[in-house]
Amino acid sequence: MRGGFKAQVKRDIKAVFNSDCEHADKVPVRYNGKNYKIPVIFDSDGEKDRKIVIADHVGGIFISYLTVFISRYDLAVMPRKETTIEIDGDEYHIVNVGYEAGEIRLDLEMFDE
């Protein structure tokens, strides 16, 4: 194996998991003043996909939750919790950030009507 295990993981993340031909969608991302057009995996499974009414008595306002995965090799910086990121034209608040084996996991929320 050329380059060892870590090099193989990096190749697999790019070629398989984050491939826009396999799992990801190549979309515009704006973070920290920089624009990217990179593969993003959207994970909107059952519980996180639900909309929750905000308890401040403002009618018709909801919070939408979404988890995304982005290759660390495609994004120049590691996003920080409590900042915003724009993905495919929608602006999200970053609730949690995780990182494992070259993959960034972002738990996001967005106010919606």
| CATH for 25 | 2.40.10
Which residue numbers in the chain have pLDDT < 50? Answer: 46-51, 53, 57
What is the per-residue pLDDT for 28? 98
Question: What distance, in Å, lies between the first and last C-alpha atoms of the chain?
Answer: 51
Residues 91, 109: Cα–Cα separation, whole Å = 9
pTM of the entire structure? 0.77
Count the domains in the chain.
1
Q: What is the pLDDT of residue 59?
A: 66
What is the per-residue pLDDT for 3? 75
Amino acid at 106: L
Residue-number span of the structural domain to which 22 is assigned: 4-112
Cα dihedral 71, 75, 80, 86 sign: negative
Tell me the sheet residues that pair with 110.
64
How far apart CA 91 and CA 71 sit, in angstroms, is 19
